[in-house]
Chains A and B, each alone.
Chain A
Amino acid sequence: GQQVMQIPQYQHVQEGEDFTTYCNSSTTLSNIQWYKQRPGGHPVFLIQLVKSGEVKKQKRLTFQFGEAKKNSSLHITATQTTDVGTYFCAGRWSGGSNYKLTFGKGTLLTVNP
């Protein structure tokens, strides 16, 4: 079945360092979403990317969608302890049931103050 692969599985950084997580699909995506899940919490929507090559920014977070719409990345500049959590990408493919998302396994980010 269709799936998205996320790397790395874990990332530990010092506060102030940058962080990047990558998401890949073997087939072209219709769109991709990113969610954040704090420890013990539930996934919270961050952003959706739809267009080829799209780049969106939210304060220190930068989201990119590849030209071929098969990969995406989330980059956090100058991490803070509030960034701790698991970041999931979730993909959607053409022809799938309306609004169905397939989540990656996530990247767990820990930040050392």
Chain B
Amino acid sequence: EAGVAQSPRYKIIEKRQSVAFWCNPISGHATLYWYQQILGQGPKLLIQFQNNGVVDDSQLPKDRFSAERLKGVDSTLKIQPAKLEDSAVYLCASSRRETQYFGPGTRLLVL
């Protein structure tokens, strides 16, 4: 079974620029999550999708972050404009039930 795929793996941008991350979950997993992991901390949930609907986006900074999962499979997370404090690893995870399977993450550095 293929794992969760994410791209790009690394991204360096300047503040105020835009960036987008892509995630392809494990086939058949209805639930998809985007997490932000700052160095030395645990993953923080940004948004959770059930199929193509948003279940929880209470911690998503909606003035600059957006995410979509239009066909209930792949998902994109966008930051516009980026701030220095957005430097982190952005992890995508998917689940069929309660166990979450994480992708390798995208390491974002904002200069």
| A interface residues, Cβ below 8 angstroms from B | 6, 31, 33, 41-45, 48, 88, 90, 92, 97-106
Contact = CB atoms under 8 A, between A and B. Distances in A.
Given A43-B43, A88-B42, A105-B41, A100 B102 contact: no
Contacts of A103: 42-44
26 contacts: A33-B98, A33-B99, A42-B91, A42-B102, A43-B91, A43-B93, A43-B100, A45-B99, A45-B100, A48-B98, A88-B42, A97-B56, A98-B31, A98-B50, A99-B31, A99-B97, A99-B98, A99-B100, A100-B48, A100-B55, A101-B45, A103-B42, A103-B43, A104-B42, A105-B41, A105-B42
B25 interface: no
- Going nearest first, the 4 A-B pairs with the smallest beta carbon separation are A103-B42, A42-B102, A97-B56, A97-B55
A48 B48 contact: no
Interface of B: 31, 40-45, 48, 50, 55-56, 91, 93, 95, 97-105
Nearest to A46: B99
Contact of B102 (A43, A92, A102): A43
Contacts of A48: 98-99
A16 B99 CA distance: 30
